[in-house]
C-alpha cells in the first residue's frame, strides 16, 4: 500500500510541477546556471502543488491533518534545496531533471508527513451533483472533445494526453493504473497566471472523453472571460 501511495504522490508531483508555465519555470531555473533566478516564484509553484495534493490525498503531520499552508511550506522548502545546476536543467524540460526534482520533493515530504488516498465515495457514477459539479455542469453522454489531443510522450504512448486549441495548450488528462483508481481520469487545465474566475484548475472524471471535455469547457470559458456560476 505504501508503495502505491508513494507512486501516486510522485505522479501527482510530476504532473502539477511540470504543468507550471514556462515563465515560472524560467524564473525558477534562471537564464544561466545560477544566474537571474527569481526564487520568489517558488511560493506560487508550491501553492499550486499543495492545492492539488490536498484535493486528492489525506495528508497528516505528526498524526494530525496537515493544512494546505503546511504542505505548501514543505514543498517550498524542498524546492529551495534544488541546486542551481538542476534548476537550470528544468528550463529545457529534461525528463531526467524533472524526475530528480519530483523524487527529491517526494522524499522531503515523506520525511515529515504521512500520505493516504482519500476514500472513494462512489460519486463518479452518480447522476447529478457529483464530483464537485452541479447537475447542469456534468458532461453529457453525447459530448465530444473539440480540440486536438495527442500523447504527452511520443516515445511512451499510454494513458496520458495533452490537448491543444490550435497552438495553445488547453491542458492535460492522464490515468493512474492503481487499484481503486482504474476509472479515474485526472485532468489539469493549463495555467498561464490569469485569474481562475472561480474555475478549478484540476479534478477527475470517469473517462478520458469526460476529462478532455471538462478541460475544454473550462479552457474556453477562461478564454471568453466567463466565470463559473454556482447556485445553491
- In which residue are the cell numbers 463559473 written? 228
What does the pLDDT read at residue 153? 78
Strand partners, 57: 117
Is 147 strand, coil or helix? coil
Give buried/exposed letters for 28-58 (b at 16+ CB in 10 A, else e). bbbeeeeeebeeebbebbbbbbbbbbbbbbe
Burial class (CB in 10 A: 0-12, 13-18, 19+), 225: exposed
| Integer Cα distance of 43 and 27 in angstroms | 12
pLDDT at res. 205: 86
Helices (H) and strands (E) in the chain, counts: 7, 8
DSSP characters for 96-129?
HHHHHHHHHHHHHHHHH-EEEEPPP-SGGG-SSS
Please give the helix or strand (H or E) that residue 175 lies within, else none.
Answer: strand 168-175
**Total-model pTM:** 0.61
Nearest Cα residue to 15 out of 132, 116, 153:
153
Q: In what helix (H) or strand (E) does residue 71 lie, and over which residues does it extend? A: helix 68-80
The C-alpha angle with vertex 180 and arms to 179 and 181, in degrees rounded to 5, equals 95
Give the pLDDT of residue 124: 43
DSSP 40: G
Q: What is the pLDDT of residue 198?
A: 85
pLDDT the model gives residue 150: 92
Contacts with 155 (C-beta within 8 Å, 6 or more apart), sequence order: none
| Structure confidence at residue 178 (pLDDT) | 56
- The distance between the two most distant Cα atoms of the chain, rounded to a whole number of Å, is 53
Instruction: Count the Cβ atoms, other than its own, within 10 Å of residue 179.
Output: 8
| Bridge partners for 171 per DSSP | 163, 189
List per-residue pLDDT tens for the chain, 232 residues long: 455 788 889 888 987 888 788 899 999 999 999 999 999 999 999 998 998 898 878 999 988 999 999 999 999 999 999 999 999 999 987 889 999 999 999 999 999 999 998 764 444 443 334 567 777 788 877 889 999 999 887 766 778 899 999 989 999 998 876 555 556 788 889 877 677 888 888 888 888 999 999 999 999 999 999 988 765 5
As given in the structure block, the three cell numbers for residue 213 are: 471535455
Distance CA(122)–CA(118), nearest Å, equals 12
Cα–Cα dist 179/228, whole Å: 33
Find out whether 56 and 9 touch, Cβ atoms under 8 Å. no
Amino acid at each position: 500500500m505504501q508503495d502505491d501511495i508513494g507512486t501516486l504522490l510522485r505522479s501527482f508531483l510530476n504532473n502539477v510541477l511540470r504543468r507550471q508555465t514556462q515563465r515560472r519555470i524560467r524564473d525558477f531555473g534562471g537564464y544561466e546556471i545560477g544566474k537571474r533566478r527569481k526564487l520568489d516564484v517558488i511560493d506560487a509553484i508550491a501553492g499550486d502543488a499543495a492545492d492539488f495534493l490536498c484535493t486528492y490525498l489525506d495528508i497528516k503531520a505528526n498524526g494530525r491533518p496537515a493544512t494546505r499552508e503546511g504542505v505548501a511550506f514543505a514543498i517550498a522548502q524542498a524546492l529551495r534545496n534544488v541546486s542551481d545546476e538542476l534548476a537550470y536543467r528544468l528550463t529545457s524540460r529534461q525528463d531526467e531533471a524533472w524526475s530528480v526534482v519530483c523524487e527529491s520533493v517526494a522524499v522531503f515530504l515523506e520525511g515529515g508527513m504521512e500520505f493516504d488516498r482519500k476514500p472513494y465515495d462512489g460519486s463518479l457514477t452518480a447522476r447529478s451533483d457529483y464530483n464537485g459539479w452541479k447537475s447542469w455542469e456534468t458532461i453529457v453522454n453525447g459530448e465530444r472533445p473539440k480540440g486536438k489531443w495527442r500523447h504527452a510522450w511520443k516515445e511512451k504512448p499510454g494513458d496520458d494526453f495533452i490537448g491543444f486549441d490550435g497552438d495553445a495548450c488547453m491542458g492535460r488528462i492522464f490515468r493512474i493504473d492503481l487499484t481503486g483508481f482504474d476509472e479515474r481520469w485526472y485532468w489539469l487545465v493549463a495555467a498561464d497566471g490569469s485569474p481562475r474566475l472561480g474555475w478549478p484548475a484540476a479534478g477527475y472524471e470517469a473517462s478520458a472523453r469526460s476529462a478532455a471535455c471538462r478541460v475544454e469547457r473550462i479552457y474556453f470559458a477562461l478564454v471568453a472571460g466567463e466565470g463559473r456560476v454556482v447556485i445553491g
